[in-house]
Amino acid sequence: VVETSSTNRPWTYARSGVDRARVSSGLAALLAEVSYRPPPSAGRLVNAPGHYAGMIRIGRETIAVTTDTVGTKVKLAAELGRWEEVGEDIVGVNVNDLASVGARPSGLVDTILCRAPEPAAFRGIGRGLDRGLRRARCALLGGETAVVPEIVDGIDLGATAFGFFPRGRRPVLGAAIRPGDRLLGVPSSGFHANGFTLVRRLLRERSVDLLRPRPGEKRPVGEEVLTPTRIYSAVGDALAESSATHGLAHLSGGGVRNLVRLHPKARFVLDRWPEVPSLFRWVQQLGGLSDEEMFQTFNMGIGFVLVVGATRLAETRRRLARAGAPDAVDLGHVERGSGVTVPGYGLSFEGYS
């Protein structure tokens, strides 16, 4: 069972007041009670604990499923009265997890909880949702809109997406990863939808005017920070077809630590991490945050990572370019061992959470 928690990253939220130990123990208490495993007549579970998606084999097809919300990024959207970006994020946060197991997106259902259904906000959310679905080539299969003023302040946005493995493609779960493999990274579009409790706290504490650009930029800060999650569906779909691809990882909450989810006995050495985009540096300075905290909270400019057989790098790069990611960069390689290191910053992480 893959039970993810958007706040299950202690380091991210230590400063913003979420008690990590309580989250873990709450979740553990829940999961300890769920022991039921259905008979094969309901489908055959694919065992991939801690991975990005739950998977089950139904007849001749394997279905992958992910669920996630946009988190507190909606609060920034509300403050700015801009809803298209987070509407698009509803899709991105989910289909990028499907891409991480090599599944092609098929359908999505959204869940909107709100205090009141403001037509302008709903129109913006719909516009963003449409754009995200278009990028992911995914159908909207339904949704739930609950007006629950007693439960929600403002709007909460979440969804569940499911995908499949066309023409007998196998899930890409990292088992093929071996020492010597190369790591390629596809740039992110910004913070995506992670770490916003922290980002918003820093912006507020430093009294940053969201309607003005930060030094050297043209777009207002609020708009820049809201930029929707880059969608890696085409990349995941194209790369999962290739035997050169040994692993795929969406760098969501947890930053580079996400790589640990791919293989327990591999060390991911990120010794060629590219220059970190100035937006991340600027936020880091606002809060006086350490490199360690930054790399395990944010994507630091790289949103999706591929683990590729060393002899097949050129071929993979061509495939990436055709799939809309000509901007992929070398990040490093795989060694014997465990964990993730970023030597240029003197960082070393063991474990995902």
**Site residues (CB under 8 A) for a second copy, limited to 99-138:** 104-107, 109-113, 116-123, 125-127, 129-130, 133-134, 137-138
Q: How far is CA 301 from CA 8, 12, 100, 278, in A?
A: 21, 16, 17, 9
Among 142, 215, 288, 346, binds a second copy (CB under 8 A): 142
238 lies in the binding site for a second copy (CB under 8 A): no
> 5 to 44, contacts with a second copy by CB under 8 A?
5-8, 18-19, 22-23, 25-27, 29-39, 41-43
162 lies in the binding site for a second copy (CB under 8 A): yes
Among 12, 69, 100, 229, binds a second copy (CB under 8 A): 69
38 token code pair = 């259905």
Name which of 91 and 244 has its Cβ closer to a second copy: 91
DSSP letters spanning 185-248: EEE-SSSTTSSHHHHHHHHHHTT--TTSPPTT-SS-HHHHHH-PPPP-HHHHHHHHT-TTEEEE
2 lies in the binding site for a second copy (CB under 8 A): yes
Tally Cβ neighbours within 10 Å of residue 2.
16
Among 12, 72, 194, 252, binds a second copy (CB under 8 A): 72
81 lies in the binding site for a second copy (CB under 8 A): no
233 token code pair = 């569906």
> 171 to 200, contacts with a second copy by CB under 8 A?
197
Among 14, 45, 313, 329, binds a second copy (CB under 8 A): 45
DSSP letters spanning 21-77: HHHHHHHHHHHHH------GGG-EEE--TTSSSEEEEETTEEEEEEEEE-TTHHHHH
321 lies in the binding site for a second copy (CB under 8 A): no
Kindly state the helix (H) or strand (E) to which residue 95 belongs, with its residue range: helix 84-99
State the nearest-atom distance from the C-beta of 57 to a second copy, in Å: 10
Name which of 4 and 227 has its Cβ closer to a second copy: 4
State the nearest-atom distance from the C-beta of 14 to a second copy, in Å: 13
Residue with tokens 């791919």: 262
Name which of 195 and 309 has its Cβ closer to a second copy: 195
DSSP 351: S
CB 335 within 8 A of CB 276: no
Q: How far apart are CA 260 and CA 349, in angstroms?
A: 9
| Among 298, 296, 297, 292, CA closest to 345 | 292
State the nearest-atom distance from the C-beta of 222 to a second copy, in Å: 17
55 lies in the binding site for a second copy (CB under 8 A): yes
Name which of 144 and 315 has its Cβ closer to a second copy: 144
